[in-house]
Amino acid sequence: MRALIVSVDFGEPGFQAQTEEFAMLARGAGAQIVDTVVARRDRPDAALFVGSGKAEEIALAAAAGGTEIILFNHNLSPAQQRNLEREFKLRVVDRVALILDIFALRAQSHEGKLQVELAQLQHLSTRLTRLWTHLERQRGGIGMRGPGESQLEMDRRMIGDKVRMLRERLARLERQRNTQRRSRARGGAFSVSLVGYTNAGKSTLFNALTRADVYAADQLFATLDTTTRRIWIEGAGSVVVSDTVGFIRELPHTLIAAFRATLEETVHADLLLHVVDAASPQRDEQIVEVDKVLQEIGAADIPRILVYNKIDRSQHDAGIERNEHGTISRVFVSAMERVGLDALRGAIVEASQAVPAGLNGRGEDPRFRAHPSSVGHADARS
């Protein structure tokens, strides 16, 4: 589908990188980008987000390029989206809807598909007036008389019923996951979750550590479904490693809420390996974005180690870096080249000795609620 991208510079740092990231998202959704229109504003226009003059410019560029859809690298209100579609006579998709579309495209497991469907319905429920403006009038006629409920109200009620049903099904799956987690805890396994910005190389690192064959690709959101494997590391014993969905700037709140059950693996981990793309110029900003999501899901206090991946593309050497307290803060590896993995395993061993399995600050031992761990937390310095 031929797409035109609109990106507005509000004076924030890293604007060009954010625009390039959005273009990568668009291509991941199957869009053929024909043009990119950049605007500069102090604040969004209440009606059209970009203002009337820039909207006219976008309409002309869309017509010249044979555009079929316009993608905004921003979150639009329902009113702004409706006004823009009237202005352009084309479908307008904002950042939230594009990310949801990619998640729908990539979800493989039953639970992942339910989570994406829930997030899409929650997003759609605020925008029904945009889709069904002709259905506000009351239905009437033979066979249609009755309580006088409008089609729009019926659509909202049907979506509400569907949302409740999806939440119930996801709750059942979450209970099953909790049972499995308690079983692993009783077995004394140390729990490690890989977290990080999307496309940081988590799945490649997961495969290298566990010898699994999880799908890994150089694209955003290649992995959506949590995969867990049990491995043995000398000195740490049985270790359960989980590969989780990647995070991204302005990750939709509906998506975080829908994927909360999957992200429970992160919340209940004994140790987080925060995987960072060492070759990315935006790595420090990406670390901050991941920290924001960890805070939102209640995982901010879990011990973590920064794992700088892709050192084969950067100037870093493989090895371990410690903070001023002598605890490990960063490990430098190349998952693709399988360099530095022994150092990473050593870091996991050291962490397992500092944090007993199942007592990550959320267990039954009050000592670990007061003093989470001596293991170092993320340090964004490069």
Q: At what angle do helices 341-354 and 202-210 cross, to 10 degrees?
A: 80
| pTM summary value | 0.75
Beta bridge partners of 273: 194, 305
The predicted pLDDT at position 125 comes to 79
Q: Exposed, middle or buried, 157 (CB in 10 Å: 0-12/13-18/19+)?
A: exposed
Strand partners, 272: 193, 304
Tokens 């904002």 — which residue? 94
What's the Cα-to-Cα distance from 99 to each of 20, 80, 207, 250, rounded to whole Å? 15, 18, 25, 10
d(Cα 316, Cα 290) in Å, to the nearest integer? 22
Note whether 115 and 261 are within 8 A (CB): yes
pLDDT at 265: 67
Helices (H), 188-299: 202-210, 253-258, 260-267, 283-296
What is the 8-class DSSP label of residue 138?
Answer: P
Closest residue by Cα to residue 343 from 332, 351, 353: 332
Task: Using alpha carbons, select from 20, 24, 26 the residue that is nearest to residue 93.
Answer: 26
Chain centroid to CA 361: how far? 24
Size of the chain in residues: 382
SS3 100: helix
Range list of β-strands (E), 131-246: 190-196, 227-233, 237-243
Instruction: Show pLDDT as tens, one digit a residue, over the chain (382 residues).
Output: 899 999 999 998 889 988 998 998 899 888 999 999 999 999 999 999 999 999 999 999 999 999 999 999 999 999 999 999 999 999 999 998 888 888 788 777 787 788 888 888 888 877 765 444 444 444 444 343 444 446 667 677 888 888 899 889 888 887 887 777 666 565 678 999 999 998 899 989 999 999 877 655 555 565 556 788 889 999 999 999 988 878 888 777 767 766 665 676 677 889 999 999 999 988 999 999 999 989 888 889 999 999 999 999 988 999 999 999 899 999 999 999 999 999 999 999 999 988 765 555 444 333 233 333 334 444 443 3
Amino acid sitting at position 351: A
Contact in structure between 337 and 362 (CB atoms under 8 Å): no
- CA 196, CA 305: separation in Å to the nearest integer? 11
- Domains, the chain, in order of start with CATH, read 2-93 (3.40.50.11060), 189-370 (3.40.50.300)
